[in-house]
């Protein structure tokens, strides 16, 4: 059974896509926790960080570089967070590796 993210990659369900290339796809979170909340996912189905192997190094690095480009395009020049949850106990809700790009909050005084 495909995860919701695989269905987004396959265009079976809609998403607000902000970036796509051969290796990854990025779209706005439907339940944002910050003014800018984008999910960057590899197109290869990797369940979590714990499932990475040496062959995935290029894909993961590519996703992180794409996330930085998206942050710049979103105007997050003052900073942002990149969050990766691993496994259910680590807060991962969808069993497909994904990187949260979160930013746009005003700094606390």
The token pair at 26 is 């990025």
98 is catalytic: yes
Q: 37, 96, 98, 100: which one is catalytic? A: 98
Q: Which residues are catalytic?
A: 98
């Amino acid at each position: 059974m495909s995860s919701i993210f695989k269905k987004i990659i396959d265009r079976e369900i809609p998403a607000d896509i902000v970036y796509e290339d051969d290796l990854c796809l990025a779209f706005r979170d439907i339940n944002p926790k910050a003014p800018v909340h984008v999910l960057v996912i590899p197109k290869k189905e990797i369940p979590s960080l714990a499932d990475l192997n040496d062959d995935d190094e290029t894909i993961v690095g590519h996703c992180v570089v794409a996330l930085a480009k998206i942050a710049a395009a979103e105007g997050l020049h003052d900073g942002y967070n990149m969050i990766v949850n691993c496994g259910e106990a680590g807060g991962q809700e969808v069993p497909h590796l994904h990187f949260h790009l979160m930013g746009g909050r005003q700094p606390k005084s």
